[in-house]
Amino acid sequence: MELAELEIFRTVVAEGGVTRAAERLNRVQSNVTTRIKQLEESIGVPLFVRDRRRMVLTSAGEALLDYADRILDLVQEARQVVAPQSPRGRLRIGSMESAAASRLPAPLAEFHQRWPEVRLELSTAPTDVLISQVRACKLDAALVAGAVDDPAFDATPLFKEELLLVTPRSHRRVRTAEDVMLDTLIVFEQGCAYRRHAEAWFASHGKGRVPVRTLELASYHAILACVAAGAGVAVVPRSVIVMQMEPHGFATHSLGKEGRITTYLLSRRERHSASFLALRSLLMASV
């Protein structure tokens, strides 16, 4: 059993198959297949159940994956302690749409200037998707809304967001959910932590009243434009609101203490490269 085989094995699991794993590892597909077979032969049991479309872990494969994670993480930690490296290589960061637009541009620009040898990749998704991608090692870290109670993760608090209810400018003042006159809530897709907060606020302040319809959109620009046009209401971070150009076609209303939520930098425990540590330090300093 070799470290390279364990890394290939873990990548095949994370990517869901040999083809995508080969692309990620910059290896030919036949080499990845051969190394997996060699690993299975050295252990003496099959690690995957194979069919035409996918590879599913056997019980032995699931057990090995846990050990592979721990072994490879310990090796990385040992290398960093014995011979610390300057940031370089690939760093995959995920973020909520709001944080990517309002919080990350300046820190990422500074990161690129300081460490040009790092190939930084940024993708956006709802919080639940980001958590799953960090867990599957498809992302090295992600900015997510709210704390994650899971011992597999390290979560560094970065900044506090204030969520605001956004209505058309002509809408009356909103103190509780019962004051909302429109019956459509404009949101991101399921898995968005801010969407859950919005639905919970309506449920707790409107005597169980939740807008009867939802309109799912993929960007805050589109969400705010639809609110201004009178299509519905939305819950949006203040940091996104302040980026908008005047004049606004919408009004904002406080959600009180229930609108305050902390953004965390989430990573797998003990899976901290020099590049990740450099970015985390920069983000913490920028708060």
Q: What is the pLDDT of residue 254?
A: 92
Please list the alpha-helical segments (H only) found in the chain. 3-15, 18-25, 29-43, 59-82, 97-102, 105-114, 127-135, 193-205, 220-228, 238-241, 274-286
Q: Where are the domains of the chain?
A: 3-82, 89-158+262-286, 161-260
Mean per-residue pLDDT, 227-247: 89
Q: What is the model's pTM?
A: 0.72
pLDDT tens digits for range 139-177 = 999 999 998 888 889 999 999 999 999 999 999 999 888
pLDDT reported for residue 87: 83
**Which of the four pLDDT bands, split at 50, 70 and 90, describes residue 207?**
low
Q: What is the pLDDT of residue 209?
A: 61
98, pLDDT greater than 90 = yes
Beta strands in 146-258 (DSSP E): 153-168, 184-187, 213-216, 234-237, 250-254
- Tens of pLDDT, residue by residue over 27-54, are 888 898 899 999 999 989 998 887 766 7
Residue 264 token pair: 């965390």
DSSP assignments along 47-63, one per residue? -EEE-SS-EEE-HHHHH
Does residue 212 surpass a pLDDT of 80? no
Among the listed residues 198, 180, 212, 213, the one whose alpha carbon sits nearest the alpha carbon of residue 259: 198
pLDDT (0 to 100) of residue 26: 83
| Cβ-proximal residues to 75 (8 Å cutoff; 6+ apart), any chain | 3
Q: Is the pLDDT of residue 210 over 70?
A: no
Buried b (16+ CB within 10 A) or exposed e, 127-140: bbbbbebbbebbbb
Topology of the domain comprising 3-82: Arc Repressor Mutant, subunit A (1.10.10)
- Mind listing the pLDDT tens digit for each residue in 67-83? 888 888 788 767 766 65
Q: Yes or no: say if 105 and 236 are a contact pair by the CB < 8 Å rule.
A: no
Task: Please give the pLDDT value at position 232.
Answer: 94
Q: Are the beta carbons of 114 and 283 closer than 8 angstroms? A: no
Task: Return phi, psi of residue 124, to 5°.
Answer: -115, 150
Tokens 């709210």 sit on residue:
146
Work out the percent of the chain whose per-residue pLDDT is above 90.
47
Measured CA angle at 257 (ends 131, 156), to 5 deg: 35
| The pLDDT of residue 272 is above 90 | no
Least confident of 13-22, 100-109, 132-141, 182-191: 13-22
Quote the CA–CA distance of 243 and 253 in Å, as a whole number. Answer: 17
Q: How far apart are alpha carbons 238 and 44 in whole angstroms?
A: 57
pLDDT over 90 (residue 260) = yes
Q: Which residues of 39-52 are buried (b: 16+ CB within 10 A; e: fewer)?
A: bbeeeeeebbeeee
CATH architecture of 89-158+262-286: 3-Layer(aba) Sandwich (3.40)
Amino acid letter, 67: Y
Does residue 131 register a pLDDT over 90?
yes
Instruction: Give me the chain's average pLDDT, please.
Output: 88
Q: The domain 161-260 belongs to what CATH superfamily? A: Periplasmic binding protein-like II (3.40.190.10)
Reading the block at residue 158, the tokens are: 């970065």
Q: What pLDDT, on the 0 to 100 scale, is given for residue 159?
A: 93
Domain 3-82 and domain 89-158+262-286, same fold? Reply is: no
SS3 (DSSP) at 137:
coil
The rounded distance, in Å, linking the Cα atoms of 37 and 48 is 10
Confidence of residue 208 (pLDDT cuts 50, 70, 90): low
Looking at residue 88, what is its pLDDT?
A: 80
CA atoms within 13 A on the CB side of 224: 21
